[in-house]
Chains A and B, each alone.
Chain A
């Protein structure tokens, strides 16, 4: 069974600085998807970024980028130029590629990010 581990329960960063959130996962599959979700105090789950395991190029979405190390089974999220609105809980998630049918999202326990002015 696949597992996702986020070893940093809490992180903090100064506004305009860069922060990296860690995520490791365990799987025997070769094809899969990885996601980072943001959950602000409003509780809404928001997709930040996703990565296909078969792509070597790291995904980037504006100030958010990932460092995907497939051999090490590591998928960290880098937030550049941090803003007050980035303060939230961040969840790393894994999803099997699958050949059809439903594949569940497997979430890590989350990292709470505080942004200080």
Chain B
């Protein structure tokens, strides 16, 4: 049981490049979400999904796309990277319901030059 996995752990991009951050979970969780963590601001929700084929925007969705074709996978796409997207990105999953613990992946540190 690997929990929530994310790849890559580190990435450097140039402005305008695109890339996909991968996230997978093996706990059969219904809910998955992406957060970004910036200094002094805690974690902010980018996009989330309540099940395969269903996604929605969070607090800071601009510049990011998501899709969820399977229960296990929830990739985050940066369409045209900007320096403002330099951050640490976390994927999380949980069972449905607000009480249930969100399990976080190890994070991806992204730098956009």
Contacts and interface: CB of A to CB of B under 8 A. Distances in A.
A50 B104 CA distance: 16
Interface residues of B, number: 23
Given A43-B88, A45-B90, A109-B40, A52 B99 contact: yes
Nearest to B97: A98
Interface string B25-63: 000000101000000111111001010000010110000
Interface residues of A, number: 25
Given A102-B50, A102-B56, A104-B59, A47 B101 contact: yes
Contacts, number: 51
B104 A44 contact: yes
Dominant secondary structure of chain A at its interface with chain B: loop
Interface string A86-117: 00000100011110011111011110000000
A115 to B, nearest CB: 21
A96 B98 contact: yes
B104 A45 contact: yes
Given A105-B43, A109-B40, A109-B41, A33 B99 contact: yes
B42 A107 contact: yes
Contacts of B88: 43
B1 to A, nearest CB: 16
Interface string A35-78: 00000001111010010100000000000000000000000000
Interface of A: 4, 9, 32-33, 42-45, 47, 50, 52, 91, 95-98, 101-105, 107-110
- A-B pairs, 9 with minimum CB distance: A107-B42, A45-B104, A107-B43, A103-B98, A43-B107, A104-B45, A95-B98, A109-B42, A98-B98
Given A45-B92, A102-B48, A103-B98, 18 more contacts: A33-B98, A43-B106, A43-B107, A44-B104, A45-B43, A45-B90, A50-B99, A50-B101, A52-B99, A91-B43, A98-B98, A104-B58, A105-B43, A105-B45, A105-B102, A107-B43, A109-B40, A110-B40
